[in-house]
Amino acid sequence: MRLLPSLALLAVLAAGAGWWLTAPDPLPQGATLGLTGDPVRGEQVFHAAGCASCHMAPGATGAAQLLLSGGQAFPSPFGTFRAPNISPSEAGIGGWTLEQFANAVLRGVSPEGRHYYPAFPYTSFAKMELQDLADLKAFMDSLPSDATPSQPHEVKFPFNIRRGLGLWKLLFFRDDWVVTGDLTPEQSRGRYIAEALAHCGECHTPRNALGGMERARWLAGAPDPSGEGRIPDITPGKLGWSEDEIVEYLTSGFTPDYDSVGGLMAHVVANMAQLPEADRAAVAAYLKVVPPVE
């Protein structure tokens, strides 16, 4: 009988340790103090990050793509995630402080202190510079607002237990660069765009059974989360295009053999085409130094 109190104490200690380990980890308090955003620069960050591609209403075209009312569905092995409203309204992110915005984008932590699902690519955005983040918010605050409520995710048990995402973050959330070494300034700029802003690895890198990116197979292609088709390998071992051909593809959507971009990648190209050509050239230079995968 003396064993029971000891076991109960161990259970309480274990539960407390688990609760502490899985707690959200926001930025240090005051991390964004003194930052002022520039909406003109923020527009470039907005396009590079592809915010409208996920958060516009389903089927939106033209100027309507800047109405970030959410609602698009993104199927996955864990359930279906629905992009939330991130317009500057009460239903979206209207009234958020820069610090709250930074915690959401860089740490995956909501203003209420809850974990966001990594369908929101904060695992890549974590590498963003704080000034770029401030500029992005300044631009997004200038966009039209919409009162459409965000729709709930349809996530299977046990993945619908948000607190468990704290353990997922402990296992897979990293904010270091994947491609390292002695890079040129152009290659470093391309790495920043590809690994952080444009979050290319989120689609082009295979994932393990728990949804963590397999960084040893960076950009080596992956099954489409919808269950239909495959996202291609874009490492130098498979993508034989020249840097100029990559730039052309990211500008016009045409491949070297005159095929045209389709699917979700069409949105990526549309976003990339709005960046300075030097940025598209930087991405091409970066892709040439990504380690090939066997």
Query: What are 96-131's pLDDT values in tens digits?
Result: 999 999 999 999 999 999 999 999 999 999 999 999
Sheet of 154-155, strands arranged across:
73-76, 79-82, 154-155
The candidate with the shortest Cα–Cα distance to 124, out of 49, 211, 41, is: 49
**Longest pairwise C-alpha distance within the chain:** 78
Residue 196 has pLDDT above 90, yes or no: yes
- Residue-level pLDDT at 40: 97
Backbone angles phi, psi at 228, to 5 degrees: -115, 120
Domain count, the chain: 2
Beta strands in the chain (DSSP E): 73-76, 79-82, 154-155, 222-223, 230-231
Task: Identify whether residues 43 and 167 lie together within a single domain.
Answer: yes
Q: How confident is the model at residue 7 (pLDDT cuts 50, 70, 90)?
A: very low
End-to-end CA distance of the chain: 58
Residue 10 has pLDDT above 70, yes or no: no
Sequence-distant (6+) residues with CB within 8 A of 119 are 74, 76, 81, 153
**pTM of structure:** 0.91
Asked if the structure places residue 14 within a domain, the reply is no
Task: Identify whether residues 149 and 193 lie together within a single domain.
Answer: no
- Residue-level pLDDT at 89: 95
Q: How confident is the model at residue 3 (pLDDT cuts 50, 70, 90)?
A: low
- Residue-level pLDDT at 6: 46
Task: Identify whether residues 44 and 139 lie together within a single domain.
Answer: yes
Asked if the structure places residue 29 within a domain, the reply is no
Sequence-distant (6+) residues with CB within 8 A of 129 are none
Task: Identify whether residues 116 and 231 lie together within a single domain.
Answer: no
Range of 120's domain? Answer: 34-172
Asked if the structure places residue 264 within a domain, the reply is yes
